[in-house]
Amino acid sequence: MHSRTTIERTQHGVGQGGFHTCRIRRGGPYNRQDYEKKTTYEYVFDCGTRSVGPGDTPLKDFLSQHIENYKPANNIVDALFISHLDIDHYNGAQMLCSAKSVSRIFLPYFTVDQIVFLIADQASNDVVLAPDYINNLLAIAAGRRRLFGVPVTVVGGDESPENLDPAPPAEERGERFQPVVIREDGQAQPLSGNLPSGTDIALRSSLEQLPWVLRPWSYKQSSAALLAMSRAIDKIPALKGIQTHAGSVSKAHIDALNEKANKTAIRKACCMIIKDAKGTYASNHNTPSLSLYSGPPGHDRSNYQFRYSERGVINRALNRDPVGWITTGDCLMNNHWADFRACFADVLTHVGTYVLPHHGSVHNHSQDFIDAIPGQLALICARHGSEDHPSKTVLNCLYEVDDHIQIVNEYSTRGVKEIVSFHHLDD
């Protein structure tokens, strides 16, 4: 029998949030007794929600149930991608890291000043972040690449190599694919603390490299916008206090943000800065949101046959779609479409399933993005009964191109599960 690789991916029903899991498994001819020995790679994209579960199950318990029901091979998660710092995308990440053996976390690039503004924006809306969490984020922005005790790779930012040794892989219980970075010259190198946006991550075993890549992308603020942000911080003592105490922020520093005069100044800065510098509003911390492509590489793959074994929807016509998948986190696609397209231009034609940005919000919508995807399965992760997620405008655009819309809410008990398989034509 043919040797095959199987990609099993599930968009879980967590409502207003995100929780996507994927298992990539390669083995020899199928043998039931030998199934668990197959070479494996597991990754998760986002782990969080703002929704309570069916029957008013408390949010924490609802999220815990999803994490507990997720059973990665050997309890190892090789990669956790956190798209950005909104609570509905990360509030289960620490829980996941405690319950599973997570080898590496991927985060979008951000500076210390961007984290200061995130904290300030949250405080101006009466959301108080814990000092320990703030210090973790500030430490990562300052160059310390660990979160919840797990090595971190930052996507985007400066491309110069940093003086960090690649983190060792998680303890291997059975052979696992190892991720490597494919440089422009075709050479492979280990992952480290910095990854240029749009770099292909290939998966290798001792015998082969798969014709399947992971490609993360993150928008980077303009240098003029970052300068404007720094100047604003210098003018607000409460923000300057957090900036200068990066790594040792206390409750007193956070309390200072809640003083009325500071709130007014912070809200004004968050709303007005950046625009004149042709960047994105500092108050919108969706700006650095990661997007991730998972699918065949952009170069020739004619020696492989790809097909769907399971599509996740009843419409059998969708089995003819390309097999790649792309998710957009809360990307401001309407602002950043040109940069997004430049990163993914060679693989967009491979995409069969795509996740709409920001739960189908019209503020993140781009018709160009929808038109560029040949596949017809559009996933929207949103709370049941939400008025704005998804937006009627976005839904109408999807209807016009005749795409199949699957809204994955807290009542989607099975989520949307897809299985792709491929093999070499010479096998």
- DSSP for 38-76 reads SEEEEEEEEEEES--BGGGB-HHHHHHHHHHH---GGGE
Based on the domain organization, do 135 and 185 belong to the same domain?
A: no
Q: What angle do CA 299, 25, 327 make, to 5 degrees?
A: 60
Based on the domain organization, do 350 and 331 belong to the same domain?
A: yes
What is the spatial distance between Cα 221 and Cα 335, in angstroms, rounded to a whole number?
Answer: 12
What is the spatial distance between Cα 198 and Cα 368, in angstroms, rounded to a whole number?
Answer: 19
Q: Greatest CA span in the chain, whole angstroms?
A: 72
Based on the domain organization, do 25 and 46 belong to the same domain?
A: yes
Q: Is 151 domain-assigned?
A: no
- Residue ending a domain, choose from 260, 279, 298: 279
Q: To which residue do tokens 């995308």 refer?
A: 89
User: For residue 87, what are the domain limits?
Assistant: 5-109+156-221+283-424
Based on the domain organization, do 14 and 99 belong to the same domain?
A: yes
Based on the domain organization, do 116 and 164 belong to the same domain?
A: no
DSSP 8-state class, residue 264: H
Q: Is 9 domain-assigned?
A: yes
Based on the domain organization, do 287 and 256 belong to the same domain?
A: no
What is the spatial distance between Cα 254 and Cα 252, in angstroms, rounded to a whole number?
Answer: 5
What is the spatial distance between Cα 222 and Cα 268, in angstroms, rounded to a whole number?
Answer: 20
Q: What angle do CA 379, 221, 261 make, to 5 degrees?
A: 100
- Residue ending a domain, choose from 245, 279, 313: 279
Query: Could you read off the pLDDT tens digit of each residue along the chain, which spans 427 residues?
Result: 446 899 999 999 999 999 999 999 986 444 444 444 578 999 999 999 988 888 889 989 999 999 999 999 999 999 999 998 888 888 899 999 999 999 999 999 888 888 887 777 777 777 777 788 788 888 888 888 888 899 999 998 765 444 344 444 444 444 789 999 987 777 888 888 899 999 999 999 877 889 999 999 998 877 777 887 888 888 888 889 888 887 788 888 888 887 877 777 777 776 666 555 555 554 455 567 899 999 999 987 778 999 999 998 888 889 999 999 999 998 889 888 999 999 999 999 999 999 999 999 998 999 999 999 999 999 999 999 888 889 999 999 999 999 999 999 989 988 999 999 998 887 6
Based on the domain organization, do 292 and 385 belong to the same domain?
A: yes
Based on the domain organization, do 345 and 306 belong to the same domain?
A: yes
Based on the domain organization, do 322 and 228 belong to the same domain?
A: no
CATH number at residue 199: 3.60.15
Q: Is 147 domain-assigned?
A: no
Q: Domain tally for the chain?
A: 2
Q: Which of 194, 225, 200, 214 is nearest to 335 (CA)?
A: 225
Q: Is 80 domain-assigned?
A: yes
Structure token digits, residue 88: 């509905």
Based on the domain organization, do 297 and 377 belong to the same domain?
A: yes
Q: What angle do CA 339, 395, 286 make, to 5 degrees?
A: 40
- Residue ending a domain, choose from 279, 298, 322: 279
Q: Is 132 domain-assigned?
A: yes
Q: Is 371 domain-assigned?
A: yes
Residue 87 CB burial class (10 angstroms; 0-12, 13-18, ≥19):
middle
Based on the domain organization, do 124 and 164 belong to the same domain?
A: no
Based on the domain organization, do 40 and 82 belong to the same domain?
A: yes
Q: Is 205 domain-assigned?
A: yes
From residue 199, give the alpha-carbon distance in Å to each of 177, 284, 297, 299: 18, 25, 11, 14
